[in-house]
Amino acid sequence: MHRDDLKDLPGPELRRRARTGALRSHNAGLGDGYVKANVVILPAEHAFDFMRFCQRNPQPCPLLEVTDVGSPAVRFVAEDGDLRTDVPRYRVYERGELVDEPTDLLDRWTDDLVGFLLGCSGTFDSTLLANGVPLRYVEAGTSPPVYKTSIECVPAGRFRGPLVVSMRPMPADKVVRAVQVTSRFPMSHGAPVHVGDPRQIGIDDLAAVDYGEPCVVRPGDVPVFWACGVTPEAAAVAAQLDLFITHKSSHMFVGDRLTEETSLL
Amino acid sequence: MHRDDLKDLPGPELRRRARTGALRSHNAGLGDGYVKANVVILPAEHAFDFMRFCQRNPQPCPLLEVTDVGSPAVRFVAEDGDLRTDVPRYRVYERGELVDEPTDLLDRWTDDLVGFLLGCSGTFDSTLLANGVPLRYVEAGTSPPVYKTSIECVPAGRFRGPLVVSMRPMPADKVVRAVQVTSRFPMSHGAPVHVGDPRQIGIDDLAAVDYGEPCVVRPGDVPVFWACGVTPEAAAVAAQLDLFITHKSSHMFVGDRLTEETSLL
């Protein structure tokens, strides 16, 4: 099936295809309008610490759903989601080392695992575009530039680390609208964390990305920074847990809920 | 000191007086503009379940802050809060039975307790009044009517129970504004959960309150219902934990933060 044909599929159908193995590629840009979630799975002994880390750092770690201990069932983001099968591709870390990238967790799921679904910025770009905010990296066909900042997250237990941000340069006269429309979606990282001079948040060179790809900044553009879902993932990898599982980058859990349903206003 | 003199005190000073024992009475109506929080303290073994209960039921249980295991320190709602001393009066439950109403927890705090600070509707009434929404129970000088509903909260572990709501009757032409202004404050229960016919949420008789006092409903008034902080307290009492501590009704934790700082827009 061509990628263009996938574009029109609704969220539940995309999830079904991930479950059956029919869709193992990334789903960035697909399921527009449906909630997409970053996934973090870890042993119960660390789950309360990780949940407090998310509560204390809500912009990088917006909590959509937390499963019961041992249960892979997703009930809020999707009606009958299953964290063992519904992500197109997973990453498995042991003591901070990537050891596998399976397409399901049927053999790995144990009764002491807890799953977290965290909001991502997946559908937030289409909201910006719909509001007349140009996106330079979309124009260029590249992935967004992502940076570690000098802002430390509020730690909880073993989880700590820098706030990681994505950057979207835009004409100065679009900045206010960009703040307004993203503020409505706290479950998709919400409002920007910083507008303007990158050095104020510890980024010396916009060309030197930590993740993603550098992005053209046009004359008159202002860099605008949003909290990024890499933040909790990096904190969980750095915690060197015996086991930590996440989705592979851009291979997200696609929900039944519409992004609009998660807005507060 | 007369109650009227207390009215002008800022939040941090009200908290200091609770800490030193100078203010042991209720603080409803005081510290206007400052975040006030309901308090739940319970053993660590139940803390992750209770936190999931809150995350799954965010309107009755808006999570402002969760302490580290064994730590009474509050760092977000207040800069240097202490859950052992900063509440004017506590309620201590053992296996679901009220056993004490102390003014501090210095002798009771142990290194396996976890504290939760939950947003309350304390300053939300002044927002409604400032927007021209009349409050019948304020006019009458009574406490708001509160009801159990037929809506079940999403359970987590041992925590379950009905959604409990407060009711504010208002002229029909104020309902839209009331929805708008409370939607801005998800940390104070946010938007209403129901507008209109009480029977649709299992309330057969508005005169038969479960908590608080009945309230005059004037001709043309529409009843508007908001999620209430009694919900998590009732769920925690019903769970019959070996130990569960909360604030005494209307004896809240007063923060340094301004309510406006907790709005999302």
Integer CA distances (angstroms), A56 to A157, B63, B180, in order: 12, 10, 27
pLDDT at residue A113 in the model: 98
Cα torsion angle, A63, A65, A69, A74, sign: negative
Residues 6+ apart with CB under 8 A from B178: B128, B131, B133, B168, B170, B192, B224
DSSP bridge pairs for B43: B113
Residues 6+ apart with CB under 8 A from B20: none
Q: Which helix (H) or strand (E) holds A139?
A: helix A136-140
CA angle B251, B253, B254 (to 5 degrees): 110
pLDDT at residue B180 in the model: 94
Q: Complex ipTM, two decimals?
A: 0.92
Per-residue pLDDT, averaged over A191-201, amounts to: 98
* B207 part of contact set with chain A, CB < 8 Å: no
Q: Is-contact B123 B130, C-beta < 8 A?
A: no
pLDDT tens figures, A121-173: 876 788 899 999 999 998 998 889 999 999 999 999 999 999 999 999 999 99
Nearest to A51 among B48, B75, B157 (CB): B48
Nearest to B51 among A44, A51, A186 (CB): A51
Integer CA distances (angstroms), A218 to A129, A137, A169, B139, in order: 17, 12, 8, 58
pLDDT tens figures, B2-14: 667 888 899 999 9
pLDDT at residue B3 in the model: 67
Nearest to B264 among A56, A75, A183 (CB): A183
Nearest-angstrom CA–CA distance, A140 and A215? 8
Per DSSP, the residues of chain B read: --HHHHTT--HHHHHHHHHHTS--S--TT-STTEEEEEEEEEEHHHHHHHHHHHHHSTTT--EEEEPPTT--EE-SSSSSEETTTSSS-EEEEETTEEEE--S--TTT--TTEEEEEEE-STTHHHHHHHTT---HHHHHT-PPPEEEEEEEPPPBTTB--EEEEEEEEEEGGGHHHHHHHHHT-GGGT-S-SEES-GGGGT---TTS-SBS------TTEEEEEEE-THHHHHHHHHTT-S-EEEE-TT-PEEEEEEGGGG---
* A199 part of contact set with chain B, CB < 8 Å: no
Can you list the positions of beta strands (E) in A52-180?
A: 63-66, 73-74, 81-82, 90-94, 97-100, 113-119, 146-152, 162-171
Q: Which of B193, B166, B78, B183 is nearest to B127 (CA)?
A: B183
The torsion of the CA quartet B212, B216, B220, B222, rounded to 10 degrees, works out to 0
Q: Is-contact A36 A120, C-beta < 8 A?
A: yes
Nearest-angstrom CA–CA distance, A122 and A120? 5
Tokens, residue B223 = 């009843």
pLDDT at residue B1 in the model: 52
Q: Is-contact A169 A196, C-beta < 8 A?
A: no
Whole-structure pTM value: 0.94
Which B-chain residues 52-111 have CB contacts (< 8 A) with chain A?
A: 52, 55-56, 63, 65-66, 68-69, 75-76
- Stretches where chain B sits below pLDDT 70 are 1-3, 123
pLDDT tens figures, B152-209: 999 999 999 999 999 999 999 999 999 999 999 999 999 999 999 999 999 999 999 9
Q: Is-contact B52 B256, C-beta < 8 A?
A: no
Look at residue A229 and give its three-state secondary structure. coil
Contacts of A157 in chain B (CB under 8 A): 68
Residue of A49, A50, A55, A68 to mutate, testing the B interface (most B Cβ within 10 Å of its Cβ): A55
Q: How many angstroms away from the CA of B187 is the closest CA of chain A? A: 11
Nearest to A66 among B52, B191, B264 (CB): B52
Q: What percent of chain A has pLDDT over 90?
A: 86
pLDDT at residue A2 in the model: 60
Q: How many angstroms away from the CA of A48 is the closest CA of chain B? A: 5
| Mean pLDDT of the residues in chain A | 95
Contacts of B264 in chain A (CB under 8 A): 183, 186, 190-191, 264-265
pLDDT at residue B122 in the model: 72
Contacts of B116 in chain A (CB under 8 A): none
Q: How many angstroms away from the CA of A62 is the closest CA of chain B? A: 11
pLDDT tens figures, A39-54: 999 999 999 999 999 9
